Amino acid sequence: MNEKTEVETVEIFIMGKRYEVPKGLTIMKAMEYSGYQYVRGVGCRGGFCGACATIYRLEGDYKLHTDLACQTTVQDGMYLTQLPFTPAGREQYDLEELEVDNNPLLDLYPELARCVSCNTCSKSCPQDLEVMDFVNEAIRGNIKEVAELSFDCIQCGLCAARCPAEIPHHHVAQLARRIYGRYQAPESEHLEKRVKEIANGQFDDELEELVNLPKEELEERYENREIEE
């Protein structure tokens, strides 16, 4: 007879209710194992989309922790919940009508000036970005620096959820990247050339072939594709 292998489990609390789940699961998989079905708060499952922002406490630890449910493994005594939406206001604007010669970041988000340099935003970032650094650059109006420092921001909003000054860092960063891309970034001749080629139908036959390929062959071509250095 085959003996059943015992699985080591940990005790967690989801929305206040106790569950035992296999050790080593991510928070996302542990919630599904416990019977929860994701309707919101899930996306790529690989740490790139920022949809699964999570807040949790550990038994005996007074700190409030933040992370992504798809990246963080459960721990014994973990009390957790998820944030399907971060309560952080995003200003309305028309990119074509912004006065970019001044400091549109500070004009639209005056709460930037309330930053007390506590660095809680950087500590809460699952991407390990120096969030406080790009906030300081935003106050100075250095849009290029903000865009570069926030390039890997995935818009999870955990920085804003922890900020005592109520700064929506992720929205500020997004605005800076849009302004930089629209007005300040050097134009790419390669991109302009490729857009014209697409518009002229140069790749229509190749695209049609790819659309009609069996899944297995498409995956094989993807794995063996040539990548420019």
Lowest mean pLDDT among 87-91, 160-164, 166-170: 87-91
What gap in Å lies between CA 98 and CA 184, rounded to an integer?
13
Mean model confidence pLDDT for the chain: 90
* CA triple 112-88-162, angle to 5 deg: 75
Average pLDDT (72-76) is 94
Task: Give pLDDT tens digits for 117-147.
Answer: 999 999 999 999 999 999 999 999 999 999 9
Domains located in the chain, CATH noted: 9-82 (3.10.20.740), 86-217 (1.10.1060)
pTM equals: 0.76
Helix-helix angle 169-179:131-140, to 10 degrees: 60
Q: pLDDT-based confidence at 1, cuts 50/70/90?
A: very low
